[in-house]
A and B are shown apart, each in its own frame.
Chain A
Amino acid sequence: MEIENFVKEVSKICDEFTINIEDGVTDEVRFSQNSIDLNNSWSSPSYNIFVARGKKTAELSFESLEPGEAQLKILHDMLEIAPENPDFYGINPVKYNYHGNQNYHNVDLYDIAGELIQGSLDGGSEKAAGLAYLDHTRNRIITPWNDQEYYNSGLEIVVRAFRGSNSGQEALHFGEGSMESANPYNTGMAAAKTASMSDKTVSINEGRYDVVFSPYTIGTVLSYNVGFLSYYSINAGLSPFIGKIGKQIASENVTIYDDPLNGSGVGYRPVDEEGTATGKLNLIENGLLKTYMHSYSTGKQSGNQSTGNAGIMDPAPWQLHMSPGNSTPEDMIGSIKSGLFINNAWYTRFQDESNGIFSTVPRDGVFLIKDGEIAGNVSGIRISDSILNILKNVVEVSREEKYVKWWDEIAPSIMPYAMVKNVNITKGF
């Protein structure tokens, strides 16, 4: 069934709807031990449809060349059995106009993988693992009030360089606006440089340390915690930020905003899932909590406007950006008498989401700083702290920022280095 006819039929079975269509090609090359493991290539259109009849809602996603009668019947049947969803307050009826990116850039992923490996080896590592993704997607969002289309091109490169038991990692993303600036060879070199920062291994005691967070470390911490700024979490009663709008929740060095119109990253998103035009959204400004993230529905429920972050029921950021400061990572390390530099972290898990208490495991370059210099590699430690403590203790932010995205640990974001005082570090016995 042609999409225009399908839309007409959908409108007959419900009051409101959104249809999100993604169609394109994604390619991936994975490598390890300095050689190619695999090429993956995906090409299939995917549909995500949200329908509502009064407060009854249903969501259907599927992959198909064309939607048809089968999907209409499924949506109809889902609405028939649905209890009312009291928190649904409608889909945005405002008409928006905008122009999305329409340029494609092509790159050879095998060449990129080769340059990542070569840069890593030339930088002093012994072996490298990683991947490169190239994505070309046509996105279309149809609602009763909007029918909008934009194109996305994105490149992601990840390299982990090993030198003995030490490693360093870089994981960058490039949108249509910056893809030509990608330099995989230098990225491989940078990962190897981190792996080569020290050949010495040292042990530390548990305790509170001043820590330089790399863009990856601050990126993973914020990626795991930004969901607490969704109104869905606030309304559910599960967030450390409940009741804190207008309050100082971070040091004045912290400004964090959603940056969906920045076409230099793969998080570029000119329109949200219900057709609302997106824009820069200050979440935390000089430490003050400015707003939660809203769809039209959560905005209406709470007496606010949409912030262009639908997910209709659970708003989310598109491309988090922490504003740069005036420092440099070298100055930060140089100013620490006894502390740590942590290049990356993973496996963040919470013991208390209401207070934002979690731990995460540093990796890919973890170093003791003594008297302003790197004094050795550290292993077996954790950041065991809370998001509120970390935000309040940011004392320096770097001018340099990186477009970071890694696996499911770091959402597409733009992050600087940050120096955080008194971070609780634990270790195993």
Chain B
Amino acid sequence: MDYTEDILKYLSTRSQFADVRYMNSTTRSYSYRNGQFDGQNRSDGSGYAVRCVNNSIAMSFFNDSNFPSMKSKLENLIYNSRKDGKHKIDISGGIKTSWNELGKKKVADTPDSCKIEFIKDMDRIMGESGASVRFTNIMDTNVNESYANSSGSSISGEYSRIYFSYMAGISDSGSFEESSEEYGSTSGYEFIDSLNFAELIGNDIRTLKASIHGGKVAPGKYDLVVGPSISGIVAHESAGHPMEYDRIIGREAAQAGGSFIGAGREEQRVGSMYVNVIDDPSIKGSFGYYAYDDEGIKSGKRYLYRNGFADTYIHNRESAAIAGQKANGGGRSSDWDMEPLARMSTTYIEPGEQSPEELIESVKHGIYMKNFTEWNIDDTRFYEKYVGKEAYLIENGKITSMVRRPVLETTTVNFYSSVDGSANDLTFHAGLCGKGDPEQGVPVWMGGPHIRLRNVYMK
């Protein structure tokens, strides 16, 4: 039985604004390791996330099965919301709709045996390609969600997500290299059919093996061409995160940190005129896809950086009200018992017109870093590091010898200011983005084309 209306009615005369989200999710996960089945897990979660706003904002998470037992929790919620604190929130409402994205090959219709057979097959391919350490995992999630608020919104959504990841380690000549990759989609299992994983994984491991014999980069200035997985992680880490407005106002300062971009600094220059970075939750099939966010706000495309300048912040209801703006569909919770935070979904560098080959042709002395292993960034999202996984020297416009673990350690503004060209091959990679306390990992895509940077320091 759904108690959303009862909860809202109870809070209507006791709050300035209230909303109720009910979520029911099932996640199934299967793993293989080094040629053998490594276990299966299932997680079922369901419950109410109730938010009450008076002198401050309070949330309560419970899954009682009858309304009378909820009342003491609602009373406690109201009591806490009357304490002093921040209480600005975008109270927009009036939306009544529903949406779903379950794909064609629905999770419910896909036998467990198919999923297990798939990861077993991927493990075999990894082994045949030379990986001695092998982990594979496939996971699917089905979510039913309803949202209602005291401003008249009532929205329901249903979706499924598919996630596949692997880690491979190779030992050769006394050295070790490893690779981890993630793939995901908001869809059914047709996503797994849409990619040639056997070829992707086989190629990844064979180049990993070759990279062990690559030379070291002589430290110095190079032109650098990076592949889509690097432009994607850069878009996520140093455009998406610093444009989350809750970070900018310090809401995450004691955990994920702040932002080098300040409040009211939309006109701040962050890079060259070639830099456009977008966050768009409405891309169908993307891992972070949603039609309406977890606060009942319609999703849509936003330019985070436009022509090298900071442009549009990512907002949830709370951060938007503090900024004096409207929520723009960035309110996401990783599970039923988590508060909605200002989050990314699909963040990408806008592609250009050239081919990747054309970008490389104009490089006399450079490095092509196709993808990465280790990476991290400081909590203001300004100082970042990416270590190359598959990388080569470029000499006179041609890709030549392989180099091992080249390091780009730079700043966000240096990176984006050095960009002078983007290719036309926009590609997305999946990931789980962490933020909040308790930490919430939400599914995202990170994307971009090959891009070229001039005169950056590599080591």
Contact B254 A58 (CB under 8 A): no
Chain B 331-352 per-residue mask, 1 if CB under 8 angstroms from chain A, else 0: 0000001010000000000000
Contact B385 A359 (CB under 8 A): yes
Contact B385 A428 (CB under 8 A): yes
Name the interface size band of chain A: 35 or more
CA distance A380 to B384 in the complex (A): 8
Chain A 21-39 per-residue mask, 1 if CB under 8 angstroms from chain B, else 0: 0000000101111011111
Contact B339 A129 (CB under 8 A): no
Count chain A CB atoms within 10 A of each CB in B251, B254, B379, B385 and give the residue with the most.
B254
Q: How far is the CB of B449 from chain A (nearest CB, A)?
A: 24
CA distance A52 to B414 in the complex (A): 55
CA distance A283 to B180 in the complex (A): 29
Does residue B80 face the partner (Cβ distance < 8 Å to A)?
A: yes
Does residue B307 face the partner (Cβ distance < 8 Å to A)?
A: no
CA distance A41 to B77 in the complex (A): 8
List residues of chain A with CB within 8 A of the CB of B196.
none
Does residue B38 face the partner (Cβ distance < 8 Å to A)?
A: yes
Contact A237 B383 (CB under 8 A): no
Contact B63 A158 (CB under 8 A): no
Given A33-B250, A347-B377, A237 and B63 contact (CB-CB distance below 8 Å): no
Binds B, one of A272-280, A350-358, A368-376: A350-358
Given A57-B39, A86-B36, A63 and B45 contact (CB-CB distance below 8 Å): yes
List residues of chain A with CB within 8 A of the CB of B379.
346-347, 361, 363
CA distance A152 to B408 in the complex (A): 46
Does residue A103 face the partner (Cβ distance < 8 Å to B)?
A: no
Partner of A39, one of B80, B111, B254: B80
Given A63-B45, A65-B65, A361-B376, A37 and B251 contact (CB-CB distance below 8 Å): yes
Partner of B373, one of A30, A348, A351, A379: A351
Does residue B249 face the partner (Cβ distance < 8 Å to A)?
A: yes
Chain B 14-53 per-residue mask, 1 if CB under 8 angstroms from chain A, else 0: 0000000000000000000110111111111111000000
Given A44-B63, A352-B177, A363 and B378 contact (CB-CB distance below 8 Å): yes
Given A36-B86, A428-B384, A236 and B434 contact (CB-CB distance below 8 Å): no
CA distance A135 to B47 in the complex (A): 19
Contact B375 A349 (CB under 8 A): yes
Contact B63 A238 (CB under 8 A): no
List residues of chain B with CB within 8 A of the CB of A131.
254, 437
Does residue B410 face the partner (Cβ distance < 8 Å to A)?
A: yes
With A39-B56, A60-B42, A382-B376 given, name 4 new contacts (CB 8 A): A35-B86, A351-B387, A428-B409, A429-B457
Chain A residues near B (Cβ < 8 Å):
28, 30-33, 35-44, 57-65, 74, 78, 81-87, 110, 127, 129-131, 158-160, 162, 169, 171, 236-238, 313, 346-355, 358-361, 363, 379-380, 382, 384, 407-408, 426-429
For this complex, 13 residue pairs linking A to B, each with C-beta atoms less than 8 Å apart, are: A30-B437, A31-B85, A39-B85, A42-B337, A43-B73, A44-B61, A58-B41, A63-B337, A87-B38, A346-B257, A355-B176, A363-B378, A429-B456
